[in-house]
Amino acid sequence: MSKSQTRTNPVAGLRRTAIAAGVMAAVGLGGPAVSVADEGPIKVGILHSLSGTMAISETSLRDVALMTIQQINEQGGLLGRELEPVVMDPASDWPRYAEQGRELLERHEVDVIFGSWTSVSREAVLPVLEELNGLMFYPVQYEGEESSRNIFYTGAAPNQQTIPAVEYLMSEEGGGAERFYLVGTDYVFPRTTNRIVRAFLNHHGVSDDDIEEVYFPFEHSDFQSLVGDIRSFADGGPTAVINTVNGDSNVAFYQELANQGIDAIDIPVLATSVGEEELRGMDTGPLVGHLAAWNYFMSIDTPENEKFVSTWMDYVEAEGLSGGSDRVTNDPMEATHIGIRMWAQAVLQAGTTDVDAVRQAVYGQCVDAPSGFEICMDEENHHLHKPVIIGEIQPDGQFAPVWETDGPVRAEPWSEYLEDSRDKVANWRYPWVCGDCTEPTYELDF
């Protein structure tokens, strides 16, 4: 199994040196802020569902964003100005993401948005961002097949999560799966991800007869017949389940796995959207050994993560957040934290909150992340270089890492396994300046 590593970033050190005077100790940004005329607070939009089916996942992203913003303000803000969060609740209603995204940009005049979880919510707000030249950091793993000038993707692309996970399941170490049951929520992320997975499996000799693909609507809660079908399918040979179910439906799905005694040794279930926060509402005893693929787990033993978790738990206690000491950290929370830090560094480097200037300054930004790796924004494609980590569910609701890459992997927004994508390039630098080109946008003959 290949373990790709990040490309060397020759400008990262220069950029970090240039902004070191404006970096805050608590979030990797320390020292005095740049002095400019007071223009009032810098408004930061937070666009996450705090109600509805996605609240189980998105509420913690709102909370960690507010924590990181508070840290920045405690160190004097940015450019001598305080950050003012503007929090919205799209209530798991996809058109409302577009409506509230427009409200954030036009009415509240925010300089940046941190938000969305599902791809359908990201796709809803994307036209608004492009129309109004807004900037959003999107913190969740997704299906790829996109690179917008107005979004920085701090979650994983398929080659940083799903594809390495399938490779692991096919390996002797991962159980040697020969058949794959793909179950997901019926929307763009699961369907596109599974299209890539199917193409990858076909490329490696797995026939369509050994792949089953099933989808359910959001908020679906009856998985009894599905789990029975999985058991029957597994009679045909070593089987693994790839779970792209999203939202609180995962609680019902995993409960049914437990009810029917689906053992991780016999039929491992690997999730792409279940982390510590989702497990917090489950009895994880019967789920021990099932898997998830992410770029960060709360259980990672690094000084950076110890500090991140400690700061988070102190914040939970100080703010009296629901759940108290049972609250956890997870991958999209780390991605949110990284995104805010990168944006803040870019603002300091640019000396302004102007979207076009900040966007240019984001390229090549690096932070020492809780995962223990130096995580950098790619110079071209608006995605992070991230490690890939596969973890097993433990009785306490945490994950024990069982496999990881040697270092961060460069994201590939367009999949090499899809015929209509493999020749596309995401490169926002001259002469390409596009997210889905097969030829450069500009070609000058001097």
For residue 390, pLDDT over 60 is answered with yes
Q: Which two tokens stand for residue 383?
A: 């995605």
The pLDDT of residue 168 is above 60: yes
| Residues forming beta bridges with residue 399, ordered by sequence position | 393
CA distance 233 to 245: 19
Q: Is the pLDDT of residue 387 over 90?
A: yes
Is the pLDDT at 124 greater than 50, yes or no? yes
For residue range 277-320, list pLDDT tens digits in order: 999 989 999 999 999 999 999 999 999 999 999 999 999 999 99
> Token pair of 323, please?
């759940």
Per the prediction, the chain carries an average pLDDT of 92
The predicted-structure confidence for 13-25, as pLDDT tens digits, reads as follows: 434 434 433 444 4
Per DSSP (E only), the strands in 122-210 are 136-138, 151-153, 179-185
Q: Which pairing describes strands 389-393 and 399-404: parallel, antiparallel, or unpaired?
A: antiparallel
Q: Do the Cβ atoms of 252 and 221 come closer than 8 Å?
A: yes
pLDDT attached to residue 11: 37
Query: Locate tokens 């666009």: which residue?
Result: 47
β pairing state of 151-153 and 112-115: unpaired
CATH homologous superfamily of 42-157+301-387 equals Response regulator (3.40.50.2300)
pLDDT score of 38 more than 80: no
Q: What is the rounded CA–CA span in Å between residue 260 and residue 165?
A: 24
Q: How far is CA 157 from the centre of its chain?
A: 8
Round to whole Å and give the CA distance between 408 and 3: 9
- Cα separation of 139 and 255, whole Å? 27
Q: Using one digit for the tens of pLDDT, what is the confidence trace for 309-367?
A: 999 999 999 999 999 999 999 999 999 999 999 999 999 999 999 999 999 999 999 99
Peptide bond into 190 cis (omega under 30): no
Structure tokens at 432: 């390409």
Indicate the SS3 state at residue 121.
helix
Confidence at residue 102, expressed as pLDDT on a 0 to 100 scale: 98
Would you place residue 39 in the very low, low, confident or very high pLDDT band (cuts 50, 70, 90)?
confident
What's the pLDDT score for residue 23?
A: 42
Going edge to edge, which strands form the sheet with 112-115?
83-88, 42-47, 112-115, 136-138, 151-153
Q: According to the model, what pLDDT value does residue 16 have?
A: 42
C-alpha closest to that of 72 among 325, 347, 391, 289:
347
Is the pTM higher than 0.85? The answer reads yes
> In the structure, what pLDDT confidence band is assigned to residue 206 with cuts at 50, 70 and 90?
very high
Stretch 50-61: mean pLDDT, rounded? 96
